[in-house]
Amino acid sequence: MQDVSAQQTIHVGGEWRGAASGATREILDPADAKPFAVIAEGGADDADAAIAAARRAFDEGPWPTTPVAERAALLRRVAELLVRDREKIGLLESRDAGKTVEEGRVDVDCVADAFRYFADLVLGEGAGRVVDAGSAEIHSVVVHEPVGVCSMITPWNYPLLQASWKIAPALAAGNTFVIKPSEITPLTTVVLVELLIEAGLPQGVANIVTGPGATVGARLADHPDVDLISFTGGLVSGTKVAQAAAADVKKVALELGGKNPNVVFADACESDEDFDTAVDQALNAAFIHSGQVCSAGSRLIIEESVRERFVAELARRAEKIRLGRGTQDGVECGPLVSEQQRDKTESYVASALAEGAVLRCGGKRPEPSDVRPATGYFYEPTVLDQCHREMRVVREETFGPILTVETFRTEDEAVALANDTEYGLAGAVWTTDAGRARRVAGRLRHGTIWINDFHPYLPQAEWGGFGKSGVGRELGPAGLAEYRESKHIYQNLAPKPVRWFAG
């Protein structure tokens, strides 16, 4: 991996460079707010250069017509390189995003799985779908071709993982791309581009511009030479991306987060073992990576008869979560990614308490310790009881360690509460009644539904949401289809005059 302190974090047409303006940005470790890397702060000129390189590589280069077997082999080489560098990349992801090193290692494993999956997927496809035209004299087939130049904008919470969900299918389909990682957490995306180059990707196919969304991101969205834009991030920014892309009728894929319900029925708490599992999973749903997860189960919707027992135990365990620097042994949860994100979390908690929520635990910054520098962006896991739909903290995506509690009495009421959101990314139902599990899962309007589980995903299964959670899907066959155009080729094997016109 190159030395990120060299500030050469923009890659255009096969060359690492600094920003055209010479601007740089310090990257802060959220555990202590101290800079530990310096990157190039690119702008619109850098984005233009990268798009031009990607355009040339698509229109004139070999990658779009490279045989599928060769493209798949390159993706598998990238997976092998990720495995080779797992420890270094996992540590870098931890320092950059604030998560624990173990979470960083798991992210690297998942990224390698994604590259392997899309390699296998394209290898297993046929040459096209033959369409029966009803005549032996007609040969009709539907084939798939790459979209072209793809712009990719990724978020700060899972920088490496989200980059891979876009890059792997884009390359498998034969596209070229320009990626802009979050300016807060760009480092592992830079490393991933390095690995693509090491694996043998032709010049100009992979381009990266580090810089802010207002300049680089905006240009990637509105540039006329871009054929597709894939964006993962907040609803407000995603709406702007879609509006910018509309002028050229670009293909658009948007993953815009969620406000995800975790529905727990009383029968899931009857035995001590089931109760322990449901509470444990509710903690995982809400507080993994300090709640900075688009699919976080931040809304606990629990049957009223077991609410007090469940919430009391949940709060007791949440208070014991070991907060600290993600690189330290024994730490279970790291800091928030930035001062801005911590301030936002504090604002949500304050508004909830003002609107009548009851604080069961957390709600403040923790005391500094040997693993929690006073300058770090730490915030205690927070459980807010007696919440309702009118509260801002229940309606909006908080992206922090906040769990709200709502109650229900009937199955219909549980479903209504779970669906009462403008988002629709993910949700879960906990019950020992198999019939109820299937009924509720079928009625929930969310893109992923877990039954008696929370958070796992499979690269083979599509990921995306209903409503304002976005447009399109990542992963699975549909994730590959996002980066393709379908073409119908109709061949008349015995052409003859039609005689439509008398002539």
Output the DSSP codes for 8-32. Answer: --EEETTEEE--TT--EEEEEETTT
Q: What is the DSSP letter of 369?
A: B
Residues in CB range of 51: below 8 A, 6 or more apart: 149, 151, 178, 207, 219, 220, 223, 225, 226
Closest CA to 400 of 350, 436, 331, 459: 350
Length of the chain: 503
- Among candidate residues 294, 333, 361, 387, the one labeled active-site is 294
Contact call for residues 157 and 399 (beta carbons, < 8 A) = yes
Output the DSSP codes for 60-90. Answer: HSSGGGS-HHHHHHHHHHHHHHHHHTHHHHH
Q: Tell me if residue 294 is catalytic.
A: yes
Closest CA to 253 of 477, 469, 497, 17: 469
According to DSSP, the β-strands at 261-264 and 426-430 are: parallel
Residues in CB range of 271: below 8 A, 6 or more apart: none
- Sign of torsion over alpha carbons 444, 255, 302, 454: positive
Contact call for residues 229 and 245 (beta carbons, < 8 A) = yes
Cα separation, 300 vs 181, whole angstroms: 32
Q: First vs last Cα of the chain: how many Å apart? A: 71
Q: Tell me if residue 255 is catalytic.
A: yes
- Among candidate residues 183, 194, 255, 406, the one labeled active-site is 255
Closest CA to 188 of 341, 27, 41, 325: 27
Q: What is the phi/psi pair of residue 233, to 5°?
A: 170, -155
Cα separation, 8 vs 56, whole angstroms: 22
Cα separation, 27 vs 338, whole angstroms: 11
Cite the active site residues.
255, 294
